Amino acid sequence: MRVFIILIGFLTFFTCKKDTSKLNENIKTDTAQEISIVRITKKEVEDINYIEYGLSSTSKKRVSNWASYGELESQILSIKNGDLSYFKGDEKIIGALLKDLKATIPKNIFSESIMSRITAIETKLYKLKSAVKINQTPKNELLQSIKEFFVAFSNLNLQMNKKFEKEAQDISKSGL
């Protein structure tokens, strides 16, 4: 009877070890699949459906000296090319960009509505950064975060266009 119990103990011990190795293989496979999920292509970013507002000629002239806006715009272009390396770097760089964006806003652009759009960009930028840094983020969630960031930036452009158009209308009304 003792031999039978010892035999069952050995079988249980060796059987459990085999299951553990299979579990480790499954984990390695899952991890490789998760890492491949995070990669996106330029084509996938181009396929994101949203309304993109560009700057009017007046707005372009007024933001031409705003370096932080130019840097943000260049990051948008990088993302459109499928390059998310900016978000994998040091978090202080992103924080510095956002701080500069708010601190260096030209007086002729400043308004509460534009500041609220910058705050929306900040929120979406941090959300995108966290989605990029987490290797387990499914591709559809990552693309959704990119879309939300693009929409926030587009809304900033739209708000600046509206501000300068309204100012132009006020000037022409007062000139009558």
pLDDT of residue 47: 95
Query: Mind spelling out the 3-state secondary structure of 117-155?
Result: HHHHHHHHHHHHHHHHHCCCCCHHHHHHHHHHHHHHHHH
The CATH class that applies to domain 39-174 reads mainly alpha
The DSSP H or E segment spanning 116 is helix 112-133
pLDDT of 63 reads 95
d(Cα 52, Cα 63) in Å, to the nearest integer?
A: 18
The Cα–Cα gap between 68 and 114 comes to 14
- 82, 120 Cβ separation under 8 angstroms: no
Instruction: State yes or no: pLDDT of 72 exceeds 80.
Output: yes
Give the residue among 128, 122, 87, 92 at the shortest CA–CA distance from 105: 122
What pLDDT is attached to residue 150?
Answer: 98
For residue 108, give the 3-state DSSP assignment.
coil
Task: Evaluate whether 40 touches 142 at the Cβ level (below 8 Å).
Answer: yes
CA 19 from chain centre, in angstroms, equals 39
| Phi/psi at 136 (5° precision) | -95, 5
Return d(Cα 79, Cα 46) in angstroms, integer.
10
* AA letter at 10: F
Tens digits of residue pLDDT in 79-131: 999 999 998 888 899 999 999 999 999 999 999 999 999 999 999 999 999 99
Angle of helix 91-103 relative to helix 67-80, nearest 10 degrees, comes to 130
